[in-house]
C-alpha cells in the first residue's frame, strides 16, 4: 500500500457528563462521596466569592493587579481534587482556587497581591510550586518533579496547569515531549479559557482542539467540558491513576471561558463582544453543580446558603488577617533574603549600604 | 507640536513610519485589536490593517524568529515583547541570528529589526515585569541597545531605530510611559543612534544615566545646586550600545568626578563599562572613584519593597556628595 | 454523545513509490521530464561524491569538522527540485546537496569548512539563507520569509529543512504553530535520519512518526520513504503547489538514515550497531534511482559512468579552486566586516588596535 | 595522584560525587551512551545506569526546566548543555526560575543545580561553538558562575558546585579539555566557590584572568620576567560571580597596576566589573589605567581568523608593557 493513511494510535476524546442544562449522563457519572461533593462545592464557592472580593479590593486600591479566575473553578478543582498531599501542583498564575484547595491561605494570596514576597509561601504540608508568571515555563518543572518522584520510587505525581496561550510556547512542547519520552507521571491540564489576553483561541493555533496536540507526543489526550466539574473530575481521575500506576502522562483540555478581564489592568471590551461573554455566563459551572447537588440531595438550597455565609465570613477574616499582618511586614532589608542560601560578601555589603541609607533617612528597621 | 505622553509619542513614531514605508510591520502579542498592553500600538490596526499590525500567538522566540525572516526578506519588522522579562524566551534568536545574519551572510541580508520591550520598575507590577537587564544586549556584538528618557526623544529614537539597518533592542521605561508630557513636533524628527546627549551643563561632577533614571538624576542635579551650590553636568546615554564615550570623557575631564546611575543590578552591569571607559580615557583627570548608584545584585523585589531597590533622589545625591567629598 | 472520539481532520499519510527492491508503483509515478530526471541523478551523484571527497579532505586535515550527508541525497533533492529561484531555501547544516542544487558552489563549501566566513556567501541569484547551526532555530525564519513574500504579493514560498532531533526544540513547535495560524507558504521538510548524534528516534519522541505532529498545528502531514526520490518529489510537489496557491503549510517527514557519523568528530560505534547501518546501506537511494533511470531508458549504464567521471572532475576543480582562493584570504582585519552596516567608532578603534598589533608583529595586511 | 586531562578530572568529579550521593543525576544531550561529545561523562552510564545518566531529547530549555523540577524535589541535577552557544535556548529557564526559585519560595525549595557547558575558542569549531559569554550569567542575580583553569581545580570546583545549594553555571574551556595533564588526587578535593586564587606572586603588575586565558597569562608573566625583569602577580578568578574582589584589591594596592584578560567581548564584559571594583576599592593606589585585554566586540570569527581574535601571549605582554610605561 504505497499511499496509506497513518493511523493515529493515540486516544483523543471529548467528555461531557453534566451538560449546561444540568442534564446528567448517569452512565458516566463518577462515583464521588457526598463529603467530597460538598468539599468541592464549597471550594468552588470559596473560589468564586474570593475572586469577587479580590476584584473589589483591587478597585479600592487595597491590592495590586491580579488575574481573576471566575468561571474556571470547575476546571481547577475537578482536577486537583485527585491530588494527595505528596503530589505536586505546578500552577501558572490563574489557579487560585486550586492553590487554596491545596492549603494556600487566602491571606497569603492577598499578601502576595500586595507585592510582598511573603505571600508566595507554600504550606509545609504540600509539595507545590509557587505561582509562575512566565507563560508555559512551569510545565517543564512538573516533568522534572514527576521524574524525580519516580526516581525516588514514590508514586507521587505532578499536575501542571496552563492556559490555551501557553500551548504556543516552546516550553509547552518541550515539556510534553520530555514527559512522553520519559513516561513521566505528569498530568497536563490546559485551561482553555479561549482567550490569551486579546488573542482568541483561533488566533492562537490552527489546531481544532488542544487535546489533539497530544498526538504529537504519543500521549493520550482528552477534551472535557471544563465547566462540568463531573467531567473534569472523571477525566483527571483517569489521568492521575494512569500516571500513578506508571502509565505515563496525559493531556487534559478543559474547555472553559475567562468570563472576566485578563487581569485587572485589562479591558476586554477592546477585543471581544459582550454577547460572547453572555453565552458563557450562562454556562457557569457553579449553579450547574449546585443544582446537581440539590437534585442528588447532597445539599439543599438552605445548606448552600449557609455555605455561602460561611465562605464570606472566611474571606472577611482572611482580609482582616492579611491587612493586620502586612502592617508588620515590609522591612526593605528582607529583600536580600533567600537570594542565595548564604549571603555572599558583596551582597552583605550592599545590604549594609541599604541599612545605612535607611538609618540616615531616619527609617527604623532591624538590620 | 502637541503635548504627549511617551506612549503617545511612540505611537506617533510608529504611525508616521508605517505611513511612510510599507515595509514597516508591527507584530507581537496583543499589539493589534488590544493596541498593546500599554497601548503603544493603539489604533494602528485600524489605520493599517491586520496585514501590517499582526497579533501573534503567544511565543516570544517565534515573534523574533519570524521577524528575522521578515528582515532577511527586506521588511522592517518592529516586534513587541510584552515585557523585557520575557525577552529571554527569545534570547537565542537574537544572539544566534538577529545579531549575526548580516555578518553570517557577508552583508547579503539586511537585519533591520526593532525589538521593543517595556523595562524597569516603579509601576507596582508582578514578578518578571520590572527587570532592567539591558546589559545582556549591550554585551552582545551585532546589536544596538537604545533606551529613551522621555516622550520627545523616545519618538525620535524609535524612528531612527526603525530606519537603522541593524537590529535594535529598544527598551521603554514603563515608569515613563505616562509619567509626564512633552511637546513633540508633528513633523518628522530623528535622533542619531550611538550619541549620548549632554542635558545639563555643570562643572563639579558628571552624572551619567539613561531611561527612567534620568528623572531622579535631573532632580538630584537640581537639589545639589539648591542645597550645596554644586553644579552637576548630566549626560543622557540614549544609546547604551554601541557606547560612544567621547562626550562622557570630555565632561569628566572637566569635572574630575562622575556618578553613574541605573536600575539594573550593579555587578557586571552597564555602569561597569562606563567606569572602565572613563578610567581608560580620563584616568589622570579623575579626582575620586566613580560612584555607581544602581539596583542591588538581587532579583528586584515585588512592589512592596521596590522603592528601596530602585535608585532614588537621595541615593543619588548622597553618591554625588561622596565623590565631591572624597 | 458525551464521550466521543475527536476526529482528527488532518490528512496524515505514508507515501512510497519506488521501493527498496526497485519496484515501482506506476500509478503513483510522478511525471518528471527526462531532463529533470537526469539533473536530479547528477545532483545526487555530485552530492554523494562530494561528500566522500570532503571526508577525505577532512581526514587529511585539509578541512575542519563537517557533517556528512551520505544517504540523504534523495530527501534533499526531491524536495528542493520544486523551488524556483525566487523561493527561499532555509537549511539546517546537513543539506549540502540541496544547497549545491540551489547554486552554492562546491568551492564555497570547502572554504566555509576551512573556517572562512567567505564560504557562507549565497549566490546572488538565489534567495537562500546560509547554514544554520543552532538546531531547529531556522524553522522560524522560514515562516517570516514566507509571510513576507505573501505580504509582498509574491507567490514565492519558503522551504525549510531540519532533522528528527530538531522536532524536540521549542522553535520547531513555535514555527509550525505560527505557520498554521498565518497559513504561511512554508514547506517543512524533516529529514528523519533516525539519529540526533547518539539519540535514536525512539529516544527523541514518544510519537510514532514525525508526520503526525502536524495534527497539533492543524496542518497536513506526510511521511515518505526518504530514500525514494520519486516519493519525495511527489510529496514535495503537492506541498509546494499548495503553499504557492495559498493553501498553507505542510509537514513532510522523509524517513531516511544517517549512514555516516554525525560529524567527523563523532564515533557512531559508541551508540549503534553496524548491523543497523548495514540494513540502511542496502536502502541506498542512489543505485535505486540509477536502476530506475536505466529501466526507464533515461540513462544507460555507460551514461551513468560518464556522469560519474564528469562529477569527479567538477569536484577536483572545486578543490583546486578553493585551495587557490584560500591562499589569498584570511586578512584578520576582515573579521570586523559586516558586523554592523557601518563600523561604529568603538569597533573602528578595536580594528585599529588589531591592525597595529599585526603591523608590530610584522604581518602585512591591508588595513 | 594520577596525571589527568581536564576531561578526565571532570569525569572523576562526577563519578565520585555520583557514587557518594544518589541524588546527583547527570542529564543532557548525548551524555549517556555517547559519554558526551567531549567525553566528560564517559562511562558514567555503565557505572550508574540510565536512571542516573539520562540521555535527553534535543531541547535545552527542557533540559534545564526539568533540572529545575528535579532540584526543587531535592535532587542535584548536573545538566550538560552541549556548547555554551546553545545555552541561550534555556536562558529564560535560568533567569526566570533557576536563579529565583529559592527566593520566590522564600527558602522553601533548594536549587542545587549545576549547568555545565563547554565555552571558548581555539579548537577549530563551527559557528556558535566558540563563544565566551560568561558575563550574561555573572550579571544575573541568584546564580554562581564558575570557570576552572586546569584539571585539578576543575575537579575540585565541580565537586563544590555539585554540593553547592545554589545554581551554578559551570563553564569548561574546550581549549583546556585535553591541552595538558595535571596531578589530581584520588581522594576527595574541593575548592570553595567565590574565592579567587593568587597563583603567582609579583610586585610590578597584577594580571587577572580565568579559564583558558590563564595559560597565555602565566606564559606572559614568565616572558615579562625573562624579557624585562618585570615581576607580575597573577590571580585566577575561578569564580566569576559572586566576585570577591578582596584579593584583587590587595594585590593592586601593592602593584599599582593591573591587566585583566578574557576571551569574552570587551564592552560590558567581565573585565569591566573588575576594573570598576578596583577603581572603587584601590583608587589611590592605581598608577595607570587598568588594561583590558579581551576579545573584540564582534562575533568570534570562524576558525580561520580566530587566533587573531583570542588574546594571545604577545597581546597580553604588550598590555602589561603599556601599564608599566604609563
Ligand atoms: C513568556 C510570557 N510571555 C508573555 C506574558 C504576558 N502574559 C501574561 S498572561 C498572558 C496570556 C496567557 O494566556 P493563557 O495561556 O491562555 O492563560 P490565561 O491568561 O487565559 O489564563 C500573557 C501574554 C507572560 N507572562 N509570559
Ligand atoms: C540548539 C542546539 N543544540 C545542540 C546542538 C548540537 N548538535 C548539533 S547537531 C545535533 C543533532 C541534530 O540532530 P537532528 O536534528 O536529527 O539532525 P541531524 O544531525 O540528524 O541531521 C546536535 C545535538 C546544536 N547545534 N544546536
Ligand atoms: Mg487562556
Ligand atoms: Mg537526525
Residue A20 vs residues A17, A259, A278, A285: alpha-carbon distances, Å: 10, 16, 14, 8
Judge whether A258 counts as a catalytic residue. Answer: yes
How open is the CA angle A253-A259-A264, to the nearest 5 degrees? 115
Q: Are C185 and C75 in contact (CB under 8 A)?
A: no
Q: A88-117, pLDDT tens digit by residue? A: 999 999 999 999 999 999 999 999 999 999
The answer to whether the Cβ–Cβ distance between C169 and D59 falls below 8 Å is yes
Domain annotation for chain B: domains and CATH numbers = 2-184 (3.40.50.970), 197-324 (3.40.50.920)
Q: Are B67 and B89 in contact (CB under 8 A)?
A: no
Confidence of residue C2 (pLDDT cuts 50, 70, 90): confident
Judge whether C262 counts as a catalytic residue. Answer: yes
Task: Provide the pLDDT for residue A125.
Answer: 87
Identify the burial level of C328 via C-beta atoms within 10 angstroms of its C-beta, where 0-12 means exposed, 13-18 middle and 19 or more buried.
exposed
The answer to whether the Cβ–Cβ distance between B77 and C144 falls below 8 Å is yes
Beta-strand ranges (E) seen in chain B are 2-4, 24-28, 53-55, 76-80, 114-119, 144-146, 168-173, 182-184, 197-200, 205-209, 232-236, 239-241, 258-265, 291-295
Q: How much is the average pLDDT of C126-149?
A: 97
- Sequence-ordered list of residues with C-beta below 8 angstroms from that of C97, at least 6 positions apart, any chain: C43, C44, C46, C47, C51, C69, C72, C73, C76, C77
Tell me the ligand closest to C92's alpha carbon.
2
For residue B99, what is the nearest residue in chain D, using CA coordinates?
Answer: D299
SS3 assignment, position C106: helix
Q: How much is the average pLDDT of D43-69?
A: 98
Q: What is the mean pLDDT of chain C?
A: 96
Q: What superfamily in CATH does domain C13-326 come from?
A: Thiamin diphosphate (ThDP)-binding fold, Pyr/PP domains (3.40.50.970)
Q: A42-93, pLDDT tens digit by residue? A: 999 999 999 999 999 999 999 999 999 999 999 999 999 999 999 999 999 9
For residue B242, cis peptide bond before it (omega within 30 degrees of 0): yes
Q: A312-336, pLDDT tens digit by residue? A: 999 999 999 999 999 999 899 999 9
Q: Is C325 on the interface with D (CB under 8 A)?
A: no
Q: B127-161, pLDDT tens digit by residue? A: 999 999 999 999 999 999 999 999 999 999 999 99
pTM for the structure as a whole: 0.98
DSSP codes, A267-318 = -GGGTS-HHHHHHHHTT-HHHHHHHHHHHHTSS-HHHHHHHHHHHHHHHHHH
Q: Are B197 and B241 in contact (CB under 8 A)?
A: no
Task: Provide the pLDDT for residue A122.
Answer: 87
Residues C248 and C185: their CA atoms lie apart, in Å, by: 5
Q: How much is the average pLDDT of D64-82?
A: 98
Q: D100-148, pLDDT tens digit by residue? A: 999 999 999 999 999 999 999 999 999 999 999 999 999 999 999 999 9
Q: C281-326, pLDDT tens digit by residue? A: 999 999 999 999 999 999 999 999 999 999 999 999 999 999 999 9
Q: Is the pLDDT of residue A126 over 60?
A: yes
Q: C-chain residues within 8 Å CB-CB of B97?
A: 132, 134, 137, 141
Task: Provide the pLDDT for residue C1.
Answer: 47
- Sequence-ordered list of residues with C-beta below 8 angstroms from that of C307, at least 6 positions apart, any chain: C41, C42, C45, C299
Task: Provide the pLDDT for residue A1.
Answer: 47
Going by alpha carbons, the residue nearest to atom 12 of ligand 2 is C196
Task: Provide the pLDDT for residue C365.
Answer: 61
Confidence of residue C125 (pLDDT cuts 50, 70, 90): confident
SS3 assignment, position B136: helix
Question: Which residue in A28, A203, A205 is closest to C217 by CB distance?
Answer: A205
Task: Provide the pLDDT for residue A367.
Answer: 52
Q: Are C110 and B33 in contact (CB under 8 A)?
A: no
Structural domain spans, chain A: 13-326, 331-367
Q: Is the pLDDT of residue C211 over 70?
A: yes
Confidence of residue A121 (pLDDT cuts 50, 70, 90): confident
Q: Is the pLDDT of residue D243 over 50?
A: yes
Instruction: Please give the number of the atom of ligand 1 that sits closest to the Cα of B89.
Output: 1
- Kindly report the nearest CA distance between residue B246 and chain A, in angstroms: 31
Instruction: Please give the number of the atom of ligand 2 that sits closest to the Cα of C167.
Output: 15
Q: B65-106, pLDDT tens digit by residue? A: 999 999 999 999 999 999 999 999 999 999 999 999 999 999
Protein residues with C-beta less than 5 angstroms from the ion ligand 3: A 163-164, 193, 196
- Kindly report the nearest CA distance between residue D171 and chain B, in angstroms: 17
The answer to whether the Cβ–Cβ distance between D128 and C64 falls below 8 Å is no
Pocket test for ligand 2, best of C197, C253, C264, C265 (most atoms within 8 A of CB): C197
- CA torsion sign, B117 to B123 to B128 to B131? positive
Q: Is the pLDDT of residue D30 over 80?
A: yes
Residues B236 and B158: their CA atoms lie apart, in Å, by: 16
Judge whether C217 counts as a catalytic residue. Answer: no
Question: Which residue in C170, C206, C217 is closest to A180 by CB distance?
Answer: C206
Q: B221-274, pLDDT tens digit by residue? A: 999 999 999 999 999 999 999 999 999 999 999 999 999 999 999 999 999 999
Task: Provide the pLDDT for residue C122.
Answer: 87
User: What is the percent of chain B with per-residue pLDDT over 70, rounded to a whole number?
Assistant: 100
Dihedrals φ, ψ of A27, to 5°? -65, -35
Residues lining ligand 1, Cβ inside 6 A: A 94, 133-135, 162-166, 193, 195-197, 258, 262; B 29, 58, 60, 82, 86, 89
| A272: number of Cβ within 10 Å | 15
Residues lining ligand 2, Cβ inside 6 A: C 94, 133-135, 162-166, 193, 195-197, 258, 262; D 29, 58, 60, 82, 86, 89
Q: How much is the average pLDDT of D157-166?
A: 98
Q: Flag whether the ipTM exceeds 0.95.
A: yes
From the CA of C200, how far away is ligand 4's center (Å)?
A: 8
Q: How much is the average pLDDT of B168-193?
A: 97
Residues A41 and C82: their CA atoms lie apart, in Å, by: 60
Task: Provide the pLDDT for residue D176.
Answer: 98
Amino acid at each position: 500500500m504505497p499511499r496509506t493513511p497513518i493511523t493515529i494510535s493515540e486516544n483523543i476524546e471529548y467528555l461531557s457528563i453534566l451538560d449546561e442544562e444540568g442534564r446528567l449522563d448517569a452512565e458516566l457519572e463518577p462515583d464521588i462521596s457526598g463529603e467530597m461533593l460538598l468539599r468541592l462545592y464549597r471550594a468552588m464557592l470559596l473560589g468564586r466569592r474570593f475572586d469577587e472580593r479580590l476584584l473589589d479590593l483591587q478597585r479600592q486600591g487595597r491590592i495590586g493587579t491580579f488575574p481573576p479566575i471566575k468561571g474556571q473553578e470547575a476546571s481547577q478543582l475537578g482536577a486537583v481534587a485527585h491530588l494527595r498531599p505528596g503530589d505536586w501542583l505546578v500552577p501558572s498564575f490563574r489557579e487560585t482556587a486550586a492553590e487554596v484547595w491545596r492549603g494556600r491561605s487566602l491571606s497569603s494570596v492577598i499578601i502576595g497581591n500586595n507585592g510582598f514576597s511573603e505571600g508566595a509561601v507554600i504550606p509545609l504540608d504540600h509539595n507545590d510550586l509557587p505561582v509562575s508568571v512566565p507563560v508555559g515555563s512551569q510545565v517543564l518543572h512538573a516533568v522534572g518533579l514527576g521524574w524525580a518522584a519516580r526516581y525516588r520510587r514514590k508514586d507521587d505525581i505532578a499536575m501542571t496547569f496552563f492556559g490555551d496561550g501557553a500551548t504556543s510556547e516552546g516550553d509547552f512542547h518541550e515539556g510534553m515531549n520530555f514527559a512522553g519520552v520519559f513516561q513521566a507521571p505528569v498530568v497536563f491540564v490546559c485551561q482553555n479559557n479561549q482567550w490569551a489576553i486579546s488573542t482568541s483561541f483561533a488566533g492562537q493555533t490552527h489546531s481544532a482542539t488542544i487535546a489533539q496536540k497530544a498526538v504529537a507526543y504519543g500521549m493520550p489526550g482528552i477534551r472535557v467540558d471544563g465547566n462540568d466539574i463531573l467531567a473534569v473530575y472523571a477525566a483527571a481521575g483517569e489521568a492521575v491513576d494512569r500516571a500513578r500506576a506508571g502509565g505515563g502522562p496525559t493531556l487534559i483540555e478543559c474547555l472553559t471561558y475567562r468570563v472576566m478581564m485578563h487581569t485587572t489592568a485589562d479591558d476586554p471590551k477592546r477585543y471581544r463582544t459582550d454577547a460572547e461573554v453572555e453565552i458563557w455566563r450562562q454556562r457557569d459551572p457553579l449553579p450547574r453543580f449546585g443544582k446537581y447537588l440539590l437534585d442528588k440531595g447532597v445539599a439543599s438550597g438552605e445548606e448552600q446558603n449557609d455555605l455561602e455565609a460561611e465562605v464570606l465570613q472566611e474571606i472577611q477574616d482572611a482580609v482582616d488577617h492579611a491587612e493586620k499582618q502586612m502592617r508588620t511586614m515590609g522591612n526593605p532589608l528582607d529583600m536580600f533574603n533567600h537570594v542565595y542560601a548564604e549571603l555572599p560578601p558583596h551582597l552583605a555589603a550592599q545590604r549594609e549600604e541599604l541599612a545605612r541609607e535607611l538609618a540616615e533617612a531616619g527609617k527604623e528597621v532591624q538590620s | 507640536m502637541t503635548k504627549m505622553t511617551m506612549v503617545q509619542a511612540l505611537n506617533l513614531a510608529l504611525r508616521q513610519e508605517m505611513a511612510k514605508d510599507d515595509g514597516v510591520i508591527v507584530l507581537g502579542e496583543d499589539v493589534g485589536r488590544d493596541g498593546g498592553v500599554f497601548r503603544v500600538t493603539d489604533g494602528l490596526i485600524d489605520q493599517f490593517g491586520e496585514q501590517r499590525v499582526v497579533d501573534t500567538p503567544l511565543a516570544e522566540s517565534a515573534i523574533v524568529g519570524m521577524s528575522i525572516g521578515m528582515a532577511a526578506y527586506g521588511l522592517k519588522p518592529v516586534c513587541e515583547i510584552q515585557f523585557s522579562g520575557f525577552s529571554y524566551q527569545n534570547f537565542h534568536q537574537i544572539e544566534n541570528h538577529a545579531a549575526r545574519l548580516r555578518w553570517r551572510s557577508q552583508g547579503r541580508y539586511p537585519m533591520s529589526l526593532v525589538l521593543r520591550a517595556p523595562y524597569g520598575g516603579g509601576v507596582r507590577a508582578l514578578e518578571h515585569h520590572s527587570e532592567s537587564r539591558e546589559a545582556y544586549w549591550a554585551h552582545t556584538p551585532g546589536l544596538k541597545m537604545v533606551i529613551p528618557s522621555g516622550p520627545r526623544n523616545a519618538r525620535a529614537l524609535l524612528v531612527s531605530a526603525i530606519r537603522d539597518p541593524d537590529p535594535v533592542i529598544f527598551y521603554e521605561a514603563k515608569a515613563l510611559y505616562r509619567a509626564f508630557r512633552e511637546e513633540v513636533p508633528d513633523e518628522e524628527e530623528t535622533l542619531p543612534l550611538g550619541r549620548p546627549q549632554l542635558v545639563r551643563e555643570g562643572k563639579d561632577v558628571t552624572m551619567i544615566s539613561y531611561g527612567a533614571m534620568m528623572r531622579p538624576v535631573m532632580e538630584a542635579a537640581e537639589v545639589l545646586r539648591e542645597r550645596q551650590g554644586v553644579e552637576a553636568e548630566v549626560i543622557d546615554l540614549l544609546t547604551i550600545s554601541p557606547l560612544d564615550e567621547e562626550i562622557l570623557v570630555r565632561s569628566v575631564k572637566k569635572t574630575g568626578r562622575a556618578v553613574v546611575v541605573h536600575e539594573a543590578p550593579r555587578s557586571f552591569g552597564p555602569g561597569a563599562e562606563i567606569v572602565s571607559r572613563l578610567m581608560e580615557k580620563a584616568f589622570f583627570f579623575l579626582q575620586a572613584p566613580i560612584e555607581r548608584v544602581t539596583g542591588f545584585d538581587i532579583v528586584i523585589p515585588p512592589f512592596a519593597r521596590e522603592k528601596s531597590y530602585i535608585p532614588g533622589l537621595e541615593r543619588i545625591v548622597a553618591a554625588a556628595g561622596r565623590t565631591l567629598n572624597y
